[in-house]
Each structure stands twice: as structure tokens, then as C-alpha cells.
Amino acid sequence: MIEEIRNKAKELLETKTVDCVIGYEPATDNLTSRPVFIYEPSQVNRLIFDETCVHNLSKYLINRRYKPTGIVAKPCDTRGINLLLNEKQLRRENLFIIGVVCSGIRKVRFNQIENSMPTKCQYCSQHTPVIYDFLVGEPVTEAPTHNYSDITEIENMSPAQRKAFWSEHFDRCIRCYGCRQVCAGCYCYECFGDELDPLWVGIRIAPGENWVWNTVRAFHLSARCIACGECEHICPVNIPLMLVNRKLEKDTLHLFDFEPGIDTEIVPPFATYKKEDKLGTGE
Amino acid sequence: MTKVITKEDLLSWLRQLAEKYAIIAPVTSNGVTLYKSVGSSEIDKINLNFSKTELSPKNWFFPPSETLFTIVKDELPRIIPASVDREAILFGLRPCDAKGIALIDKAFLAEPADVFYQEKRDKTTLIGLACLSPCLECFCTSVGGGPADLTHLDILLTETAEGYITQATTEKGKQLLTGAPRQEKEIIPPVLPSLNLILAEGITELMPRVFNDAYWDRVADRCIHCNICAYVCPCCYCFDIRDYVSKGKIERVRSWESCQSPGFTRLAGGYDPRPTKGAHFRQRWYHKLLYFPPIFGDIKCTGCGRCVRSCPVNIDIREIITDVQRMKV
């Protein structure tokens, strides 16, 4: 698997098809992995792929939108690429996607690999990349299933319980904006969180402002979040952001029969208007 | 003979202290360990076996946000300065974190001192816990610290099978300890752990030579420019100030800010003196390793390893220091 990735990366760089391949290399703990940008064919042996390759590298494509770039992508990451293509943020002709078949990765932290899978993998049924130029691994044909049992649990809470649940989590948010910076769907030139005129949310790192930040961040990703789970994975204070994201994903699926990033061509619900669009809360 | 306090006595002493002082101590919930204010009925919640808190104790002196003063529209405008109402005990600091506070002191207490910081600092006693099982990413001994370094603490506690060895280093600490129920015991102090060493020595002299190296752009490729490293750091202290204006009231608020955030050096008109990803990224390391040392005498790093552990893309200060050493020409 790793050999295939290295050989393809080498070929792409040698033939100047791309001038950089974004992939994974071992991290400094000699246990997990980290993103790497390979510019020289002689450097391709740094590339690896294993169960610790958690990062969604599609975010990096935004900075390289005008440069021919190769990328190693898991199925969830390819949904990020599709999202960006769909929203006209990338040019397909500038991309070479090395898709990797994935049956789930492991929950990782620096110096630590857990035996369990991260939340995103537990609910994922997309094991084959949705878009690729070169495929590593045998494609899996599996009907996508949807399991929202974790969301139903939150939905069944009373509004007061739900408020208490989220207050407990949002209160400890430090507004590091890690969730935004790591997100493939967050590419605004100026985020509402930074905007001064109009001022949507103040700089105070306090419960009220944290609620505004976390809810508006989530709403901006409704029908757009591709469930890569990076926001939740990197949150330094362990806020279960995927619960909010998956609630919106569930509603989008029920209201519009739409899954973000699965297809490059279908116009996303918030980029169009149909008279028959349902109104409601998704129930 | 050494003076020790048993775990039970320590907790009941803290319970007693909580009547007079605000106690700030490590508490674990929702999978994260943070310094929290604990009342006398909550002393049992204190986690005495944590390795390292997710956020540093700097939050107590330099909170994520604080109101500096309020102006109320009266007949005459009145300025109400913020103030601390109670003396506090910051309990369970690792020696590296105490050093982090000492480093922020250098910047915030230099004349003219930051009064908001100073008030909290003056009213707080620091009780440390020696670090007997450091994390793999820790490197305090490489930057002048140590797992049982008591330099920047008022009291240091070192855990043994017989109880905690108590050492007071300041007048404040000695006075506080007089009320603690301690016993004299014959105790062999625990062997301190040894940590991985990195060669940080001489790094300040090397930094100017590599300022324009393409290295910074290459590492910055990977950086996602979140503020995690700065916010978990025990000695990063950049902030932003804004006014909250509401009917008849203006509050001046200070909040954490970081050199990695998008608008950090953007000026009116849109010009940014750090225009590239690399220049943006480089600032963090130059502040820590080059700009701070000649003014304040130390590199601005305690070796706590929090940024190493929390960085989403494994930007590792140990690796950066080693790489710069290798670039030596």
C-alpha cells in the first residue's frame, strides 16, 4: 500500500504532473503520523499510510488552488475535495487524487494509539473514495447505511437538559478556532468570528460568546460538513462537536435527501431553491 | 527527619483553607483535566494523580477574558476598576507551570506593572506537586527546569508512600504551612525521573542567522494557524483589547490572542508586515527563542510539552530547535 503511494507520488513529481504531493509521514513520537508536503521525487520515501493517518488533508488544497497538487486521501477526505470542487474553490484539472480505501482508522493522540475507532469511523459506511485518479486498495461495494443513534439520544433530551449539556461543553471552549482552521469547509476570507464590522461575536472568551461561536460555526456547515471529524479530534478541551455536526447532517438528509461531498455535480441545498423543499425540523 | 503530610490530612487541610481562600486545583471531567475553582465541599474532586492539565494554570492570572474596567453613564462618568476579592491558593502546579508563571511575571510585572495581573499574583500562593512521571513530550530539564524544581513555587509537595514531603521556599509558603497537620518522619525521597534532553543551549545566538531560511515556509506548509499552541502554553501572553458598548455602559475587555491568528498583524488599510504563511508561523519561534531572552534573561519555554501534545499537525518545538541547530553554518 505504502509502496503504491510512494511510486505514484514519485511518478507525479518526476513527470511534473504536480509540483507537490500532500501525504502523511511519521510524527515525532515515532508512533502516529502527520501531514507532509513532498516537493522532490527523492523525498517520496518519507510518505507512509497507516491507521494513524487521521488528518483530512483536503484543507491544504485551498492554499494551493492554482498549483497542480497531488493528494493522498481517505474516503472522508475525498468528500472534502468534492465539497470544495462543488463550491468552486478548487480546479479539478489542478488535482491528482491518490484515493486510499479505508475501513476506519484508530483514535490517536500524540504518543498514544487507542484500540477504538474515532466517532467518525464508527458511523461511516463510505469505505471507497468518492473521487480519485488513482486508487490504492480494493474498492468496497457496500450500501451506505445511516446510524444516528447518538443523535437520537440528544434529541430525546428536554430543551433544559440539552441546554445544560451544551453549556457544560461550550463553557470550556477557549475559542482557539482550531475547529475552524482544520475544517475543509471553513475557507471564508474573513470569518464571521473575526469580522469587526458588522460585529457578530465579541472577543470575550466566555459562555455567551462561546455559544454564538459554536452554534454559528455549526450552522455554516449545515449541508456542508463532510463528517471527517477533524474539529472534534483536535479540540484541545474535548468538545463533542460531531454531535452538532451530525444532527445537521441528519436533518439535511431527511429534508433534502442530500449528503455533502458525495457527488461533485449535485447542487447543494443551500446553493439552490426548489418550491417543493420541505419546511420543518427534520422530524 | 522530614516533614510530611498524609493524603487525608492534605485534603482536610485544603478543605479548611477553602473557607478563607479560593482554591484553584486540577479537576478532571469530560475527559479533560483543567484548573478549576473548588469549594470546601468539592475538595475530593481534586485530581492528585494527573500527569499534565490540558490548559496551563496561567488562566488564573491571565484569564482567557477579563474586564479591565467599566464606565457607567451617571451624572458624571465613573470608572470602576476590576478587583480580586479573595486571596487564592493555586494548588497542584507542576514545577514547569510555576516557571511559566515566572516567565509571564517578567513581562507583566516589569515597570509599569500590569495592575490586573499583579493584583491576582500578589493575592495567590502557589503550591506545587513534584512531577514523578513526566510525559514523553516533556523536556523541562533542557530549558533550565526540573521535575522537582522549587524555584518558582511557594510550597512544593513530593509524593511518597508515607505521604507528601512538604518544602516551603518563600515566607508566604512558610506561613501557610504552619497551619498544616504535618508529621516528622524518616523518609527516603523518591528518585526523580530523568527526561529526554534536547540541545536548547545556544539557540538564541543561532536564530538570527536562519531568519530568511526557506525552512520556515516548509514547516508552515503543515501549520493550520489555529491558536492551540499559544492558548495551551503556560507562558504565551498575547492579548487583544476591545470595548463592549451597551446602553449606558462601556466595558473594556481583554482576551487571549495569538500570533497565529489571521488578523494578528494586519493593519488598517489591509497591509500585513507578516504577509506569508512562513512569516506568520516564524513569529512564534522567534518570540520564544530570540526576542524574549535578551530582554528577560530566559528563553520563553518551560518544556511542559503541551504544544507538542496538542498541535493538530505535530509541529514540535523540540524538532524546530534541533533543526535550527543542524542548520548551523
For residue A149, the tally of other CB atoms under 10 A from its CB is 7
Same domain, A159 and A244: yes
Q: What length does chain A have?
A: 283
Confidence of residue A279 (pLDDT cuts 50, 70, 90): low
**Residue A95 within a domain:** yes
Same domain, A117 and A186: no
A236 to B55: CB separation less than 8 angstroms, yes or no: yes
> Is B93 in contact with B130 (CB distance < 8 Å)?
no
Mutate which: A32, A176, A195, A238, vs B, most B CBs within 10 A: A176
pLDDT at A206: 92
Residue B289 DSSP symbol? I
Of the residues B157, B185, B213, the one at which a domain ends: B185
A110 to B222: CB separation less than 8 angstroms, yes or no: no
Same domain, B28 and B96: yes
Of the residues B137, B158, B185, the one at which a domain ends: B185
Separation in Å, CA of B103 to nearest CA in chain A: 22
pLDDT at B327: 87
The per-residue pLDDT for range A170-183, each reduced to its tens digit, is: 999 999 999 999 99
The per-residue pLDDT for range A186-195, each reduced to its tens digit, is: 999 889 998 8
Confidence of residue A282 (pLDDT cuts 50, 70, 90): very low
Same domain, A156 and A130: no
Closest alpha carbon within chain B to A191: B262
A205 to B65: CB separation less than 8 angstroms, yes or no: yes
For the packed helices A207-219 and A159-170, what is the interaxial angle rounded to 10 degrees? Answer: 100
Chain A residues interacting with chain B (CB cutoff of 8 angstroms): 27-29, 32, 34-37, 55, 59-60, 63, 109-111, 168-169, 172, 174-178, 180-182, 190-191, 194, 202-206, 230, 233-234, 236-238
Same domain, B208 and B140: no
B133-161 average pLDDT score: 93
Closest alpha carbon within chain B to A175: B227
Contacts of B308 in chain A (CB under 8 A): 28, 110
Which has the higher per-residue pLDDT, B67 or A60?
A: A60
DSSP H/E element including B105: helix B95-108
pLDDT at A277: 67
Separation in Å, CA of B126 to nearest CA in chain A: 23
Return the percent helix, strand and coil in chain A, to nearest 5: 35, 10, 50
> Is A96 in contact with A67 (CB distance < 8 Å)?
no
Q: B40: Cβ–Cβ under 8 A, 6 or more apart, which residues? A: B15, B16, B18, B19
Same domain, A53 and A114: yes
**Residue A243 within a domain:** yes
Confidence of residue B173 (pLDDT cuts 50, 70, 90): very high
**Residue A279 within a domain:** no
Q: How far apart are CA B17 and CA B43, in angstroms?
A: 10
Same domain, B139 and B216: no
pLDDT at B233: 97
Closest alpha carbon within chain B to A165: B30
Of the residues A136, A169, A185, the one at which a domain ends: A136
Alpha helices in chain A (DSSP H): 2-14, 75-86, 119-122, 149-155, 159-170, 178-181, 207-219, 230-234, 241-256
For residue A45, the tally of other CB atoms under 10 A from its CB is 13
pLDDT at B328 over 70: no
Confidence of residue B329 (pLDDT cuts 50, 70, 90): low
Number of domains in chain B: 2
Same domain, A208 and A232: yes
B137 to A194: CB separation less than 8 angstroms, yes or no: no
Contacts of B222 in chain A (CB under 8 A): 34-37
Sort strands A33-38 and B22-29 into parallel, antiparallel or unpaired.
Answer: unpaired
> Is A257 in contact with A227 (CB distance < 8 Å)?
no
Same domain, A122 and A20: yes
pLDDT at B283 over 50: yes
**Residue B66 within a domain:** no
Q: How far apart are CA A95 and CA B182, in angstroms?
A: 69
pLDDT at A281 over 60: no
Number of domains in chain A: 2
pLDDT at A278: 64
A110 to B137: CB separation less than 8 angstroms, yes or no: yes
Same domain, B211 and B131: no
Of the residues A77, A106, A136, the one at which a domain ends: A136
Contacts of B231 in chain A (CB under 8 A): 174, 176, 236
> Is A114 in contact with A105 (CB distance < 8 Å)?
no
A111 to B135: CB separation less than 8 angstroms, yes or no: yes
Q: Peptide bond preceding A35: is omega within 30 degrees of 0, i.e. cis?
A: no
Contacts of B34 in chain A (CB under 8 A): 172, 237
For residue A168, the tally of other CB atoms under 10 A from its CB is 12
Contacts of A36 in chain B (CB under 8 A): 222
A111 to B65: CB separation less than 8 angstroms, yes or no: no
SS3 for A34-61, per residue? EEEEECCHHHHHHCECCCCCCCCHHHHH
Same domain, B226 and B181: no
Residue B213 structural domain: 203-326
pLDDT at A148 over 80: yes
B228 to A176: CB separation less than 8 angstroms, yes or no: yes
Same domain, B121 and B155: yes
Sort strands B88-93 and B124-129 into parallel, antiparallel or unpaired.
Answer: parallel
A242-265 average pLDDT score: 90
Separation in Å, CA of A277 to nearest CA in chain B: 37
A136-161 average pLDDT score: 89
**Residue A283 within a domain:** no
Contacts of A198 in chain B (CB under 8 A): none
Contacts of A195 in chain B (CB under 8 A): none
Closest alpha carbon within chain B to A59: B224
pLDDT at A283: 44
Task: Report chain B's mean pLDDT, rounded to a whole number.
Answer: 92
A223-250 average pLDDT score: 93
Same domain, A180 and A202: yes
**Residue A278 within a domain:** no
Same domain, B142 and B286: no
**Residue B175 within a domain:** yes
**Residue B28 is placed in which grid cell?**
478532571
B30 to A169: CB separation less than 8 angstroms, yes or no: yes
Q: B5: Cβ–Cβ under 8 A, 6 or more apart, which residues? A: B13, B157, B163, B164, B166, B180, B181, B182, B183
**Residue A144 within a domain:** no
Of the candidates A29, A35, A204, the beta carbon closest to that of B313 is on A35
pLDDT at B75 over 80: no
Closest alpha carbon within chain B to A186: B224
Same domain, B266 and B125: no
Same domain, B309 and B220: yes
Q: Name residue A97's beta-bridge partners.
A: A71
Q: A231: Cβ–Cβ under 8 A, 6 or more apart, which residues? A: A178, A179, A180, A182, A183, A241, A242, A245
Same domain, A94 and A155: no
Same domain, B159 and B249: no
Q: Name residue B66's beta-bridge partners.
A: B254
Same domain, B241 and B175: no
Of the residues A79, A110, A136, the one at which a domain ends: A136
Same domain, A132 and A187: no
Residue A113 structural domain: 2-136
Q: How many CB pairs under 8 A join A and B?
A: 112
Q: How far apart are CA A220 and CA A187, in angstroms?
A: 11
Residue A190 DSSP symbol? S
**Residue A277 within a domain:** no
> Is A236 in contact with B232 (CB distance < 8 Å)?
yes
Q: How far out from the chain centre does Cα B260 lie?
A: 18
Percent residues over pLDDT 70 in chain B: 98
Which has the higher per-residue pLDDT, B137 or B84?
A: B137
pLDDT at A263: 85
Same domain, A8 and A128: yes
**Residue B198 within a domain:** no
The per-residue b/e assignment along B189-219, b for 16 or more CB within 10 angstroms, e otherwise, is: eeebeebeebebeebbebbeebeeeebbeeb
**Residue A143 within a domain:** no
Same domain, B46 and B173: yes
Same domain, A99 and A184: no
The per-residue pLDDT for range A18-55, each reduced to its tens digit, is: 999 999 999 999 999 999 999 999 999 999 999 999 99
Q: How far out from the chain centre does Cα B128 lie?
A: 13
Of the residues B159, B185, B211, the one at which a domain ends: B185
B150-157 average pLDDT score: 96
